Structure 1
Amino acid sequence: MKRIIRAALPHTPRRRRRMVAAVLALATALAALPGAPAGAAARETGRPGTRPVVTRAALDPQLVAGRGAHVDFLEQEAENAATDGEVIGPDRNAYTLPSEASGRRAVRLDPGEHVEFTLPAAANAITVRYSIPDAPAGGGITAPLDVAVNGKRIRTMTLTSQYAWLYNQYPFSNDPNADLLHPDWWITECSCVPAATTPYPSIEKPFRPSHFYDEQRLLLGRTYRAGDRIRLTAPPRTTAAWTVVDLLDSELVGPPRVRLLAANVLAFGADPTGARDSAPAIERAIAFARRTRLPVYLPPGTYQVNRHIVVDDVTIEGAGSWYTIVRGREVALPSPAPDGSVHTGVGFYGRDAADGGSRNVHLSGFAIEGDVRERIDTDQVNGIGGALSDSTIDGLHIRHTKVGVWLDGPMRNVRITNTMIVDQIADAVNFHTGVTDSLVAHTFVRNTGDDGLAMWSETTANARNRFDHNTVQSPVLANGIAIYGGTDTTVSNNLVADPVREGSAIQVGSRFGAEPFTGHLRITGNTTARAGTWELNWKIGLGAIWFYALDRSIDARIEVVGDAYLDNTYNAIMLVSEWAVKDLYSISDVHFRDVRVDGTGTSVVSARTAGSASFENVDARHVGAVGVNNCGSFHFTPAGSEFTLADLGGNDGGWLADWQLPNTITCDDRPPVVPPPPPSRW
């Protein structure tokens, strides 16, 4: 662990660091000359008078055109900006700062150092994604970051690590010095169950540090022009030994939205300074609005709310998520609630489905900022929760809650659109149990502690839901998009990048007690980047898209059409059953068509299950090991693998035609990883 931490927090002597930075700057500048591969970093682009590098999920935007969320900001990676700091990464190994950074690289600043971005368009607001150290005993610190424009300091941001730095085994600890939370669990680091060994093995601390990053938004006070320079400096006075800047998002925010004909919460006693609890005033405004059929309006300000606001048949509008902020503390309950919660916190909740749920709820134009710093799975400390049928959630910004939006059905017809959900301890969105005819679209997710977007058909199947045109970046644990059972589901036109640990960009999983897959599952037009993580317990690399039969077979018709899997860490496509059930369950009726694979560390397809899949017009290049790694269910019968690959033609790149199909055993279970070149236009 010491070696990994040193890689994350380098302490190279100053002169050597300057030399390394200079060499990197020269190499990346040369890479950007005419004829260099598309997407190559251009070190000189952050300097005055040069063209800034704008990316999407650290990719050339042309590689992901038409995919992912439509957002109002422009993204610039710190490693492409001018700096006297040190570029760290790339690194895809969990528990390091580069691995959790967008694009797997970032810039480390020592006190007095800076990184400078050139604005690509007019902007009056920025978002900085950053990391600073934890306190020695956990709990976080604060530190300043100076913001200057064209050489003149205009603001000082106060950064915090109070919502970052988790350690240990699931569900994790804030204490870097804690002993194992579960000494009776298998630990890969010692290949043992510690509690069953004599002597008890020593696990180096801090054990499995993760969740390093946070982000902060800042209104600049005026509009700056394209070409103006935004400099972020870790000042000499900083309390942080180092500051890592991952990226800067710049945006031109419009004026606050004004709603005159509405139940204005100020008229009911709400405090826009955040000094007093505004929950009772907001509830009085909601009651009045329901009687008069008016919307509730939250004008610009910060409103303190430390518990759930129950919503039903009401519209609540803010002045815009940059202007209207509903913020609250996490509050310990005097005794556990019936649902097991031991805390409450800020959130807008529909009534429980068992009580009939809520309907006709419309939330828009405000931010929800929680105070969740630890993961307690029984706690209902989500930004939005309950059951919300025939409802809309639009234009919100949600951060520092457990889950941004966790909806417990049965319920139907909720639409989540144009929303940002960042810095969550667990998921961003989860459709849980009997959610039907619902949509998440043009929603941007970054830095979740579990699945970014999930549909979980526990006890009752979800049906006819869509995740469409969303962006999910850097889920620290688990998957970008996860579908656990359900009927007639569509995952389309999404952009998913940089899963860090024990997950994939897209997972189709028969697990967690989910109801079976039925009808059609359509996965169409998605792009993934730098996906597929190391599975800690299996000690194998996962695929960018991962099919997992654990609780039962997956045999609904699945169509994967038009996806692009870019710069895959290991496999592009993986189909697997758990070893204990490999002779019970299989994965079949999966069909891949018009798919492009640009770079794999190992294989295009890895099959570790019985079943079948077909492939038509699946093109691949820069394949690291073998095109097909077909282990079947590991019986290695004379008749071949228990998994059959059907070649329907047009599969360019030689990855499939080179093998004796349909079920030749080509089982190299852990082939050497060959890092692929950066993706480029096909």
Structure 2
Amino acid sequence: MTAPQAARRSRPRLRAALTVGACAAVLGAFGAAAPVQGAEAARPSAATADVSPLAGADLPFVSQEAEDADHNGTVIGPDHTQGTVASEASGRQAVRIASGQHVEFTLDEPANAITVVYSLQDGASGTLSVYAEGQRLDQRLDVTSRYAYFDAPWIAGSKTHHFFNHGRLLLGQDLAAGDTVTLRVDPGDTAGDYTIDSVDFEQVAAPASPPPGALDVTSLGADPSGQADSTQAFVQAVAQGRGGTVWIPPGTYRVEQPLYVENVTLRGAGNWHSIVRSSRFINQGQSPGDVHLADFAVVGDVTQRVDSDPDNAVNGSLGPGSSVSGLWLQRLKVGLWMTGTNDGLVVEDNRIVDMAADGLNLNGNADDITVRNNYVRNTGDDALAMWSLPQINRDATFDSNTVIQPNLANGIAIYGGENISVTNNHVQDTNALGSGIAISNQAFLQPFFPLAGTITVHGNTLVRTGAMNPNWNHPMSALRVDPYNHPIEADVRITDTTVIDSPWSAFQFVSGGGTGLAADRVTIDGATVRNVGTVVFQAETTGSATISGVTATGVGVTGVYNCPYPTGIAPMRLDDGGGNSGWDGEWTDCSTWPQPGDTPGEPDPDRNLAAGRPVTVTSHTDVHSGPNAVDGNASTYWESANHSFPETLTVDLGAPTEVGRVVLKLPPPAAWETRSQTITIRGGDQPGSLTDLVASRLYTFDPARGNEVAQTLPGSTEVRYLHLVFTANTGWPAGQLAELEAYAS
């Protein structure tokens, strides 16, 4: 991206702004892990070029980035590092403003409402002043960090995340193209520093009128002021309104207990006008069906992710022939968590933002479902997902959706199912632990139904997607094909794909369970790849794919990384179907993962050989797992179970490698006092035939010397496995290690 400037031309409207330019189980460890590594390094450009949009939803608003607007604040980013505010911003950049500072936007189209994507410091709340054409509005934008700074320590590799929130405001006037809207920190705006990511400008229509014969919830006592609990009025309305329409007029309604709905339409006056305050709006096992939810908002009060709680707008089944359209869903655990029978369900034209977990997840019994033209941003897991369990999903379509900034997982994830289509979607700015699109046979639960029939992945645009997975200790690509628990035997047809500015790679074949299952019958036909940090094809399992018409420019390192795991299986066969260009060359050193900026076949001779390598341990406590010892961050550490010596930690270097020196570290001196650990350093080419490289001895970790020690190994020591045995610790009754570094000399 070009250097930050005080004044910049605004980007085009959001569909145009999306330009070329877990599911907790998916977050789990790789098992034995693939023989690769990665670290944050140089990246492709964070900006996208000014060209026509290729895919995504047709949205009723224009989005502008703060860093492209006129401002006197401080630009943060670009940054892809998990756990930083900039990494969760669209475009990986945002603008931080403090007292007296502003961001000013010039409108591309008429608007009378704004949605601000912002971040505050943890614990802060307050207001932000808004100006239209230089005149401050009487009403300020309410802002809060109450729904930010999430932690999910049960998800391996997760860090504090979810820094941004959406704030909406009707301006009370109609502005024309060329007019200005300014966000300014004025006296009375006491939330500290404000980080502005983007603003959506929208011309909101007047409230709609109720359809003839509709049952108005206020006629049964619902309170549109939001003061009283309107649950009973809604319960009576959906019971009396079966076969017809229940009308939610303009207002704000508190619904504190979930509803059961069947054979009824709930319709509002528009999702800016009819607002339901509820963290559990609909919760039911089965429904006869014919339920239609349209044109209102459901805004929750979910401040933490609790996977066992049904804190969702819809939890369960709406039944066959149902639809969800025109909703605004915000501050829930999941927007739509669909289980049971939902055949023929249509989910369209919704905005799903600020979820603690998924935006939409379809669990089995989901035949002929259509998910189209939705906008999903700032989710805490997969944005749009489908699990083929406990029944098989068939003939589902995910078409023309826009996904921005899913945290901790994928943009669109298909886990099993038969004859599934993922077409014309736009996904951008994935964060940790996920790809833009994942086509996977990961079986979260049983019974699971693997991919079958034809899986169509067509016309999708992926911008700045893919991430460094801290559990696998290597990258995930923009588009991932993953025979995790089952070989892929379906016809996977990936056509007309656009991949722009991937931080790492474009296409990936990996068996995430670590057992090297095959990805066969895959075709990639027609793809434009522009700017990838490392390689175009990242192959880490066996199988075969036919590649045709894939053109690449701006390849960071080389064309192909083809190093299967486990190492004894055949590499992926990439058959040239013709029409390919720009991705010649192959990475030849399977003992290390290429980093952005590496020279093909010539990794840095002074690199840390253990960085990001697979780790196995005899035990660990809480979140202090083995991979922490090779993640390059001395503030994270491995700790074994207490009072259970001996404990071991083993690093797989991927291939026999000459190691001349190891460095052992504990966390920074400010946090850890002096302690001594008794450690034996062993090594060898096979886990069952390791020998002592350095006999058991005492290593003292002294804050005055940085809490680290170095150990030279015997000359010409060539090992694949480095194995540390911990038998005592004077500072804590467990083995502890923040970093194990290994060097050739």
The alignment's TM-score, normalised by the length of structure 1, stands at 0.79
Asked whether the 8 Å contact 2:485–2:513 carries over to 1, the reply is: no
- Pairwise CA distance, 1:630: 0.6
Match among 458, 463, 471 for residue 394 of structure 2: 463
The CA distance in 1 between the partners of 2:52 and 2:438, in whole Å, is 20
Asked whether the 8 Å contact 1:57–1:102 carries over to 2, the reply is: no
SS at match of 2:334: coil
Question: C-alpha offsets along residues 349-372 of structure 1, whole Å, 9 cap, x if unaligned?
Answer: 4x413xxx3310111010001111
Match of 2:141 in 1: 157
SS at match of 1:266: helix
Counting only pairs closer than 5 Å after superposition, residues 241-390 of structure 1 correspond to structure 2 as: 241-259=192-210, 260-290=212-242, 293-328=243-278, 345-349=279-283, 351-353=284-286, 357-388=287-318, 389-390=320-321
- Pairwise CA distance, 1:633: 3.2
The CA distance in 1 between the partners of 2:50 and 2:4, in whole Å, is 25
With a CA cutoff of 8 Å and minimum separation of 6, indicate the structure with the bigger relative contact order.
2
Distance 1:283 1:114, change over 3 A: same
The CA distance in 2 between the partners of 1:457 and 1:517, in whole Å, is 9
Match of 2:499 in 1: 565
Match of 1:510 in 2: 441
- Pairwise CA distance, 1:23: 6.9
Asked whether the 8 Å contact 1:352–1:387 carries over to 2, the reply is: yes
The CA distance in 2 between the partners of 1:294 and 1:53, in whole Å, is 37
Match among 538, 542, 545 for residue 613 of structure 1: 545
The CA distance in 2 between the partners of 1:79 and 1:363, in whole Å, is 37
The CA distance in 2 between the partners of 1:634 and 1:509, in whole Å, is 19
- Pairwise CA distance, 1:265: 1.0
Counting only pairs closer than 5 Å after superposition, residues 464-503 of structure 1 correspond to structure 2 as: 464-503=395-434
Q: How many residues are treated as equivalent by the alignment?
A: 564
Query: Unaligned stretches of 5+ in structure 1?
Result: 1-21, 27-42, 136-140, 172-184, 188-206, 329-344, 676-682
Asked whether the 8 Å contact 1:129–1:214 carries over to 2, the reply is: yes
Counterpart of 1:220, as a letter, is L
Match among 29, 44, 47 for residue 8 of structure 2: 44
Asked whether the 8 Å contact 1:496–1:505 carries over to 2, the reply is: yes
SS at match of 1:44: coil
Match of 2:70 in 1: 82
The CA distance in 2 between the partners of 1:556 and 1:53, in whole Å, is 38
Match among 46, 67, 70 for residue 58 of structure 2: 70
The CA distance in 1 between the partners of 2:567 and 2:214, in whole Å, is 68
SS at match of 2:219: helix
Q: Which deviates further from its counterpart, 493-502 or 534-543?
A: 534-543
Match of 1:593 in 2: 525
Q: What is the percent sequence identity of the aligned residues?
A: 37
SS at match of 2:594: coil
The CA distance in 2 between the partners of 1:255 and 1:365, in whole Å, is 12
Counterpart of 2:485, as a letter, is D
Counterpart of 1:157, as a letter, is L
Match among 56, 65, 68 for residue 17 of structure 2: 56
Match of 2:130 in 1: 147
Question: C-alpha offsets along residues 584-603 of structure 1, whole Å, 9 cap, x if unaligned?
Answer: x2111110001111111000
- Pairwise CA distance, 1:447: 0.1
- Pairwise CA distance, 1:580: 3.8
Distance 1:234 1:258, change over 3 A: same
Question: C-alpha offsets along residues 119-146 of structure 1, whole Å, 9 cap, x if unaligned?
Answer: 11111011000000112xxxxx312100
Match of 1:108 in 2: 96
Match of 1:440 in 2: 371
- Pairwise CA distance, 1:668: 6.6
Counterpart of 2:561, as a letter, is N
The CA distance in 2 between the partners of 1:63 and 1:645, in whole Å, is 31
Q: Are residue 650 (structure 1) and residue 582 (structure 2) matched? A: no
Query: Unaligned stretches of 5+ in structure 2?
Result: 22-47, 599-745
- Pairwise CA distance, 1:61: 8.5
Asked whether the 8 Å contact 2:13–2:61 carries over to 1, the reply is: no
Asked whether the 8 Å contact 1:84–1:115 carries over to 2, the reply is: yes
Counterpart of 1:238, as a letter, is D
Asked whether the 8 Å contact 1:45–1:52 carries over to 2, the reply is: no
Distance 1:63 1:489, change over 3 A: farther
The CA distance in 2 between the partners of 1:112 and 1:598, in whole Å, is 40
Distance 1:251 1:600, change over 3 A: same
Match among 585, 592, 595 for residue 672 of structure 1: 595
- Pairwise CA distance, 1:64: 5.6
The CA distance in 2 between the partners of 1:61 and 1:262, in whole Å, is 48
Asked whether the 8 Å contact 1:346–1:369 carries over to 2, the reply is: no
Counterpart of 2:300, as a letter, is G
SS at match of 2:8: helix
Asked whether the 8 Å contact 2:452–2:490 carries over to 1, the reply is: yes
Match of 1:175 in 2: none
Distance 1:537 1:64, change over 3 A: farther
- Pairwise CA distance, 1:524: 0.3
| RMSD between aligned residues | 2.2
The CA distance in 1 between the partners of 2:152 and 2:357, in whole Å, is 16
- Pairwise CA distance, 1:164: 0.5
- Pairwise CA distance, 1:78: 0.2
Question: C-alpha offsets along residues 40-69 of structure 1, whole Å, 9 cap, x if unaligned?
Answer: xxx3336xxxx9786524756864635101
Match of 1:418 in 2: 349
The CA distance in 2 between the partners of 1:539 and 1:257, in whole Å, is 52
The alignment's TM-score, normalised by the length of structure 2, stands at 0.73
Asked whether the 8 Å contact 1:364–1:396 carries over to 2, the reply is: yes
Match of 1:223 in 2: 174
Asked whether the 8 Å contact 2:353–2:376 carries over to 1, the reply is: yes
- Pairwise CA distance, 1:555: 1.8
- Pairwise CA distance, 1:71: 0.7
- Pairwise CA distance, 1:550: 2.1
The CA distance in 2 between the partners of 1:168 and 1:299, in whole Å, is 38
Asked whether the 8 Å contact 2:506–2:537 carries over to 1, the reply is: yes
Question: C-alpha offsets along residues 536-584 of structure 1, whole Å, 9 cap, x if unaligned?
Answer: 02221111001222212112110000111111110100111247412xx
Asked whether the 8 Å contact 2:415–2:440 carries over to 1, the reply is: yes
The CA distance in 2 between the partners of 1:645 and 1:53, in whole Å, is 39
The CA distance in 2 between the partners of 1:87 and 1:79, in whole Å, is 6
SS at match of 1:455: strand
Match of 1:454 in 2: 385
SS at match of 1:282: helix
Counting only pairs closer than 5 Å after superposition, residues 390-409 of structure 1 correspond to structure 2 as: 390-409=321-340
- Pairwise CA distance, 1:307: 1.8
SS at match of 2:510: strand
SS at match of 1:404: strand
The CA distance in 2 between the partners of 1:271 and 1:376, in whole Å, is 30
SS at match of 2:453: strand
SS at match of 1:302: strand
- Pairwise CA distance, 1:276: 0.7
Counterpart of 2:119, as a letter, is S
Asked whether the 8 Å contact 1:591–1:613 carries over to 2, the reply is: yes
Q: Are residue 576 (structure 1) and residue 510 (structure 2) matched? A: yes
- Pairwise CA distance, 1:423: 0.2
